[in-house]
Structure 1
Amino acid sequence: MNLKKIFSKLFRVKEDCKEDVMKKFLIVGLGNIGETYTNTRHNIGFKIVDEVAEEHKATFETDKLGDVSTFRLKGRTFVLLKPNTYMNLSGKAVKYWMQKENIGIENVLIITDDVHLDFGTIRLKAKGSAGGHNGLKDVQEKLNTQEYARFRFGVGGNFGKGRQVDFVLGQWTKEETSLLIERLPVSVKVITSFGTAGLANTMNTFNGK
């Protein structure tokens, strides 16, 4: 094989690797570990990635800084992450897995609860402030940028002054639990659309739905 063919082959391999990296996505559900927090509003991020994994028959394994699961869909690789660092230190796990899996920030999606949105409301943004959310604050600090996609799931704001912490760390009501059965499948579609159709199309399709 002459040098021209060797370099041509190496170039194709490099381009194939680059394409594979562009088709890999890190989906991070924020939450707190432990049974105490399992069914709390603050753990909706965990709940959504659990639903995604179940839908695609993927299983989680405990690894460094979190529980991780992977599946492929339409030529894309989805890496699901539930940080075990507790909510306020989520950024450490996000940064580690971005580096480990060689995933660029444009292919990262962070899922959080939002008390400023009515229950079940979906809102995706390409960038923005943490909006008072401690998990997002730490992600922003560790990544040194606000320019990452986030998927906010509305948990409502039915709490009195000074009671926000109790509310988000509180258990879902029976009515909310019933309604989640309808909203979680929609959330799964949001995640897969982010990887297969892109953020802009996903925002147009699901925001406010």
Structure 2
Amino acid sequence: MKCIVGLGNPGKKYKATRHNIGFMVIDELLNRHSFDLNKSKFNGKYALEHIGKEKVLLLQPQTYMNLSGEAIRPLLDYYDIATEDVVIVYDDLDLPTGKIRLRQKGGPGGHNGIKSTINHLGTKEFKRIRIGVGRPANAQPVIDYVLGVFPKDEAANVQESIQKAADAFETWLEKPFNEVMNEYN
């Protein structure tokens, strides 16, 4: 079984914010395959379905970003999903808006959701799809920036990156991740 975790914050207040781009990728996959997040356990909403021949778990932690690992670890344990069968999708300030970057492992890079995930998984070795949200301009505090919505002039880039990240996950269901990295990076 493969698992994709989209990081974000629960609630309407955060729905369209930069920090919720991971949730947006999960929503894209749900829409493509007519799935619903119809299960809830361990502070996570999820779907357990098949895409092609592969059984997949699509997860949106409901713990708020900084505690994401608290929802991820128990679900992986419950369904006996190995860390190498998980990909985490999240926002990245160090990439330009709309750019995606796949990695096999790495540190948190200042991202508290990834820091929590590393702490709860006990490893930095898990697959990631980072989606660029750019950096704030004019000395805007980072927290205000990531909890802000994308401006209209970035909408096309953002939607394209969400679709590309969903495509990358679907490709991983059929190819090794290093091949997916070569194709999408």
Question: Does 2:37 align with 1:60?
Answer: yes
- After the TM superposition, which residues 56-135 of structure 1 pair with which residues of structure 2 at under 5 Å, given as runs? 56-64=33-41, 65-135=43-113
Counterpart amino acid of 1:107? D
Q: Is the CA contact (8 Å cut-off) linking 2:98 and 2:160 kept in structure 1?
A: no
Give unmatched runs, 5+ long, in structure 1: 1-23
Q: Does 1:51 align with 2:28?
A: yes
Aligned equivalents of 1:160 and 1:130: distance in 2? 25
* Range that drifts further, 155-164 or 94-103: 155-164
Cα distance in structure 1, aligned partners of 2:106 and 2:139? 25
Moved more, 81-90 or 158-167: 158-167
1:97-131 deviation line (CA, Å, top 9, x unaligned): 11111110000101110000011111111111000
Structure 1 residue 75 displacement after superposition: 1.4
Count of aligned residue pairs for this structure pair: 184
Amino acid of the residue matched to residue 44 of structure 1? Answer: I
> How does the TM-score come out when normalised to structure 2?
0.95
Give the structure 1 partner of residue 117 of structure 2. Answer: 139
Q: Render the CA deviation track for 1:36-73: whole Å, top value 9, x for unaligned.
A: 10000000000001101110111112411111012312
CA deviation after TM superposition for structure 1 residue 77, in Å: 1.0
Amino acid at match of 1:33: P
RMSD: 1.3
Q: Could you tell me how far apart the structure 2 residues matched to 1:144 and 1:38 are?
A: 29
**TM-score when scaled to structure 1?**
0.84
Check the 8 A contact 1:90/1:139 in 2, yes or no: yes
Q: State how far apart, in whole Å, the 1-side matches of 2:110 and 2:99 are.
A: 18
Moved over 3 A (4+): none
* TM alignment of 1:112-191, pairs within 5 A: 112-161=90-139, 163-191=141-169
Secondary structure in 2 matching 1:196: coil
Percent identity over paired residues: 37
**Corresponding residue of 1:9:** none
Structure 1: distance between partners of 2:45 and 2:26: 11
- Rg larger for: 1
In structure 1, the residue corresponding to 2:48 is in which secondary structure? strand
User: What corresponds to 1:33 in structure 2?
Assistant: 10
2:6–2:23 CA contact under 8 A, matched in 1: yes
* Alpha-carbon distance in structure 1 between the residues aligned to 2:132 and 2:6: 14
Q: Is the 8 A contact 1:56 1:71 kept in 2?
A: no
5+ residue gaps in structure 2?
none
Q: Which amino acid aligns with 1:172?
A: F
